């Protein structure tokens, strides 16, 4: 035991070191382009309404095209993809309206047989 008493006990000092505070960078918020979203929604609805009540597709198609054109550009100076899709869907809605209008009203006047065939097709579809 004498050996143990003669030995010096080493004490270790603990030093508290403050770690540097690292703040996490908040993710950059994406800017929501509301006009581009509205253009896309109006364009899609314009195409959908061409199936049943195609008169509604006129204001929706025109509105989609206008909203797509006035939608702000991205940071890199290009149009948003949704705005471009809204413009395309708006014009497609207007083209489909013209096709529906010609098929329903103009062609039966020019070709009476076409009007009769169209009536027969619609009767078959309506009574199925």
> What is the H or E stretch that residue 99 is in?
helix 81-101
pLDDT at 97: 93
Q: What is the model's pLDDT at position 8? A: 62
Q: In this structure, are residues 86 and 42 in contact, taking their beta carbons and an 8 Å threshold? A: yes
| Residue ranges of domains in the chain | 30-101
pLDDT tens per residue across span 79-99: 888 999 999 999 999 999 999
Radius of gyration of the chain (CA): 35
Calculate the average pLDDT of the chain: 81
User: Where is average pLDDT lowest: 34-48, 50-64, 68-82?
Assistant: 68-82
pTM of the predicted protein model:
0.65
* pLDDT tens string 14-32: 777 776 777 776 676 777 7
């Amino acid at each position: 035991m004498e050996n143990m008493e003669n030995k010096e006990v080493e004490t270790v000092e603990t030093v508290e070191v403050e770690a540097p505070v690292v703040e996490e960078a908040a993710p950059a918020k994406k800017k929501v382009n509301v006009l581009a979203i509205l253009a896309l929604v109006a364009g899609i609805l314009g195409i959908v309404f061409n199936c049943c009540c195609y008169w509604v597709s006129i204001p929706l198609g025109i509105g989609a095209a206008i909203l797509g054109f006035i939608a702000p550009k991205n940071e890199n100076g290009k149009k948003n993809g949704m705005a471009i899709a809204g413009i395309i869907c708006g014009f497609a809605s207007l083209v489909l309206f013209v096709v529906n209008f010609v098929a329903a009203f103009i062609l039966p006047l020019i070709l009476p047989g076409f009007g009769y065939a169209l009536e027969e097709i619609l009767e078959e579809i309506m009574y199925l």
